[in-house]
Amino acid sequence: MRQRNVRKAIEKVNNHPWVVDSITDDAFPNENPVVLEIGMGKGDFIIGMAKANPDVNYVGLERYQKIIIRALEKLDEELPNLRFICHDAEYLFEIFDVKIESLWLNHSDPWPKKRHAKRRLTHQNFLKIYEQLFEEEANIYLKTDNKDLFAYSLESLSEYGYVFNKVSLDLNNSDIPNVQTEFEKKFISQGETINYFHASKKLIKKPWLFDIII
């Protein structure tokens, strides 16, 4: 992309009303539950979910503006229940001032080398961050074509206290409702299978110091 086009893309992302710097109480004009997708890519999944579920608020997080612009180009109607954020997942707790109902990790970078394990979005360092976003129960959904990442994620979440409500090694041929991402469409056309799980964990909230004193 030429430098001029890059500048225009960045300007469009920064000025778009659905691209925000943080999610606060006034991010949505309602009190509906909030669902977050980390690494939304070009937006097929998050846009499809927002269209299908108008009573749920959706937030798509992506690190790169040049990718967010592709998602904005796909918006063919006004979706008041959808917001985008250009940020790194490592700093989620700094940009979220509301609690979320569930989290989606779709075709995340597998970071296959062992020395890069801490960069995987299902590493326990990230699980600790996610836990701060939930209220009473954490719900994490994952889809990936990468079998090694899937196995790693099952083990990581299990060790962190999650239970698995649904698991599929071939999501496209299961009875689980599914909005496909752009990656899924490509992989399925090539004969690849999609791995999926929904994991949850009951959270124990620590009492405030004030409550302990009373």
What is the tens place of the pLDDT at every residue in 28-48?
989 999 999 999 999 999 999
Q: Domain 3-213, what fold?
A: Rossmann fold (3.40.50)
Which is catalytic among the residues 109, 145, 170, 211? 109
Q: What CA–CA distance (Å, rounded) separates 197 from 153?
A: 10
Contacts of 8 (CB under 8 A, 6+ apart): none
The three-state secondary structure class of 198 is strand
Tell me phi and psi for residue 118, to 5 degrees: -70, -15
Half-sphere CA count of 156, side-chain side, radius 13 A: 20
Return the sign of the alpha-carbon dihedral for residues 156, 159, 160, 162.
positive
Each residue of 83-108: pLDDT tens digit? 999 999 988 988 999 999 999 999 99
- Give every strand in the sheet of 137-144, ordered side by side: 82-86, 57-62, 34-38, 102-106, 137-144, 195-202, 163-168
Active site residue 109: yes
pLDDT for 111 equals 96
pLDDT for 76 equals 80
Stretches where the chain sits below pLDDT 50 are: 1-4, 209-210, 212, 214
Q: Is pTM beyond 0.85 here? A: yes
Q: What CA–CA distance (Å, rounded) separates 151 from 67?
A: 28
Domain residue ranges in the chain: 3-213
Q: What CA–CA distance (Å, rounded) separates 84 from 45?
A: 13
Q: What CA–CA distance (Å, rounded) separates 71 from 129?
A: 26
Return the sign of the alpha-carbon dihedral for residues 119, 121, 127, 130.
positive
Which alpha helices (H) appear in 86-205, and where do they start and end? 92-95, 124-131, 147-159, 182-189
Q: What share of the chain is helix, strand, coil (3-state, %, to 5)?
A: 40, 20, 40
